[in-house]
Structure 1
Amino acid sequence: MDLLKTAREVFAIEARAILHLAEHLDADYDKAINAILQAKGRVVVCGMGKSGLIGKKIAATLASTGTPSFFMHPSEAFHGDLGMVTPDDVFIAISNSGETEELLKLMPYLTDNRNYVIALTGNKQSSLGRAANAILNISVEQEACPLQLAPTASTTATLAMGDAIAVTLMHAKDFQPEHFARFHPGGNLGRRLLATVKDEMIVDNLPMVNASASFAELVDCISTGQLGLAVVQSEEGIGITTDGDIRRAFNRYNKEVFDLTAADLMSASPKTINAEAKMSDAFAIMEANKITALIVMEQERVVGILKK
């Protein structure tokens, strides 16, 4: 058995399935997108089995890109969760066959509730297709499964259709990185775009020494501060000495390094930033200068240190 050949065949089948989706797009796609844009409520995504797993990802993608959405399991919906669906919601029903019993049971309620129903199905003439307001065709020529039983290419196509919906809505809403960051405050993007320097800077026990401090005092300050640096204060302003500066000094001066002071080893005019600045600005400065720390200043006074 050629294992690599099998894998390549799967990729080829699923790639063709995605490419064929573009050929299936028609006016119903516009109708579906406009219905979501005009809806005052949320998008409810519903599917059974593998379609349900794909539906959870679609709902998560929509929610994180500016379209309020949640996933509803069809069996749970039929036993009370339909109470979460308001008339203002758009309902996305996923079924490759279009004959999933658990989904079809929900259609009378959705019709009575005046919900706009979008069907993601591979059979436009199915019961689900006939009940829907808009049909997005996710049919595939074949599954990657050699038995043509396990949903493979069809679930990939469904996922791609969900991504297309989400991205189209992002364009329509002019969804920007700042908006994305608001929904991901715990991630690196959220930290960069939402947080300010004062939210992240270190303010306690700052490692600071006078310019006249001895080499031993300077090393002790860097070690005690545990930030890999010391801020050097002089009459002319401030400087900075890093543990890298200490290592280079040893290589350059050997035993004579112990005769040096903090003023001899500091880098003058270090990069600084205001406490009210955005973290995105701070990261930009650090990346442009290939450094990992900034001194935070307010009214010519050191108030913190920001570490990358």
Structure 2
Amino acid sequence: MDNKNNIIANAKQTIAIESKAIANLSNFINSDFEKAVKFIYASKGRVIVSGIGKSANIATKIVATLNSTGTPAIFMHAADAIHGDLGNIQEDDVVICLSKSGNTPEIKVLIPLIKNYGNKIIAITGNKDSFLGTNADFTLNTYVEKEACPNNLAPTTSTTAQLVMGDALAVCLLNLKEFSSQDFAKYHPGGALGKKLYLRVSDLIAKNEAPKVSPEDSIQKVIVEISQKRLGTTAVIENDQLIGIITDGDIRRMLEKTSDFTNLTARDIMSENPRTIEKDAMAIQALEEMESNNITQILVKENEEYVGVVHLHDLIKEGIF
């Protein structure tokens, strides 16, 4: 099959071209990049990110990344900026302009207006000698040899390079701010990602009962307790101390060995030293414990006292698994 019509070959070639361009970006990380990061970090204002065409689409993603990692940012379309949206820019704001050529008409009109306001400009451009590149206070070079587009026209490699440079800025700022996972959770409270960051074991067991039996209880009582509490397990408690666990699997294995369990007790079939987790632990830690130990439930303790059970289904219900 001709290369032109070979979908797999074309896809691999696209990835190879863009990968090479991204790898080459590291050669453009220089003092201007360092100064730009430090200037944004020290700024009392926001980051205004602007562009036109496909660069505008990348600008909106950079804004989203900056906002989610603790650097306040807003998007301003370059065309709209010269028709009224310049009012978005405040005294202490830093402006990032994205343009592959750095010579688009809108950019040529916009840059002098921003400079008249006294705001610093960071250029992300593939042409450091362009109007944008030479008039910016800091220039971040995103030059690419060619687009992945076979006609070398559609913005593909160049917009990927812009995106990566924006990520590099955001990550460097994140590190300077010592932005923690707890900080991240404040900006991402929704969805599975947010729950991984803030949901605790105590939240999961709030609606669950805490099944328990004594070591001398009959197997019948054990089965009833497991069935009624609907968690597939029960703790075994002696003198207020957790000494074991009995699961559905333990019951099945017992029945495989004997049909007469009249004289058997919980102690006879329980597993000692069960896996436990603290009530204030993160829910994601409970999932990690279950996965690493190939179990579907884990007993919960608070100050060495048994307080409940987390089941894999609880994690599935919350969208964490």
Shorter-chain TM-score bucket reads 0.7 to 0.9
1:64-83 aligned within 5 A = 64-83=68-87
Once the two structures are overlaid, the 10-residue window that deviates more, 224-233 or 273-282, is 273-282
Cα deviation code 1:97-153 (max 9, x no counterpart): 113334444334422332211111122232322432111111211111111110111
Q: Is structure 2 residue 249 aligned with structure 1 residue 244?
A: yes
The 8 Å contact of residues 203 and 304 in structure 1, kept in 2 or not, is answered as no
The corresponding residue for 1:95 is 99
The 3 A distance-change label for structure 1 pair 242 and 5 is same
User: What is the deviation of 1:298?
Assistant: 3.9
State the alpha-carbon separation in 1 of the partners of residues 107 and 228 from structure 2: 64
User: What is the deviation of 1:95?
Assistant: 0.8
The corresponding residue for 2:272 is 268
The corresponding residue for 2:317 is none
Whichever residue aligns with residue 161 of structure 1, its letter is M
State the alpha-carbon separation in 2 of the partners of residues 96 and 39 from structure 1: 26
Q: Is structure 2 residue 6 aligned with structure 1 residue 15?
A: no
Normalising by structure 2, what TM-score? 0.81
The 8 Å contact of residues 211 and 233 in structure 1, kept in 2 or not, is answered as yes
Cα deviation code 1:271-293 (max 9, x no counterpart): 33443445466556555644443
Secondary structure at 1:198 match in 2: helix
The 8 Å contact of residues 65 and 166 in structure 1, kept in 2 or not, is answered as yes
State the alpha-carbon separation in 1 of the partners of residues 55 and 240 from structure 2: 68
The 3 A distance-change label for structure 1 pair 304 and 96 is same
State the alpha-carbon separation in 2 of the partners of residues 144 and 298 from structure 1: 57
The 3 A distance-change label for structure 1 pair 304 and 73 is farther
Once the two structures are overlaid, the 10-residue window that deviates more, 185-194 or 61-70, is 185-194
The corresponding residue for 1:133 is 137
Whichever residue aligns with residue 306 of structure 1, its letter is V
The corresponding residue for 1:221 is 225
> Which structure 2 residue ranges, 5 or more long, are not aligned?
313-321
Q: Is structure 2 residue 13 aligned with structure 1 residue 34?
A: no
**RMSD of Structure 2 on Structure 1 (CA):** 2.9
Q: Is structure 2 residue 63 aligned with structure 1 residue 53?
A: no
The 8 Å contact of residues 203 and 303 in structure 1, kept in 2 or not, is answered as no
Q: Is structure 2 residue 155 aligned with structure 1 residue 147?
A: no
Normalising by structure 1, what TM-score? 0.84
Identity rate, percent? 45
The corresponding residue for 1:85 is 89
Whichever residue aligns with residue 136 of structure 1, its letter is L
User: What is the deviation of 1:61?
Assistant: 2.2
The 3 A distance-change label for structure 1 pair 95 and 199 is same
Once the two structures are overlaid, the 10-residue window that deviates more, 158-167 or 298-307, is 298-307
The 8 Å contact of residues 202 and 305 in structure 1, kept in 2 or not, is answered as no
Secondary structure at 2:48 match in 1: strand
State the alpha-carbon separation in 1 of the partners of residues 72 and 174 from structure 2: 12
The 8 Å contact of residues 293 and 306 in structure 1, kept in 2 or not, is answered as yes
Cα deviation code 1:180-217 (max 9, x no counterpart): 34433446665455444323324543333344443333
Across the two proteins, how many residue pairs are aligned to each other? 307
Secondary structure at 1:224 match in 2: helix
Once the two structures are overlaid, the 10-residue window that deviates more, 206-215 or 236-245, is 206-215
State the alpha-carbon separation in 1 of the partners of residues 186 and 9 from structure 2: 44
1:113 to 106, 114, 117: 117
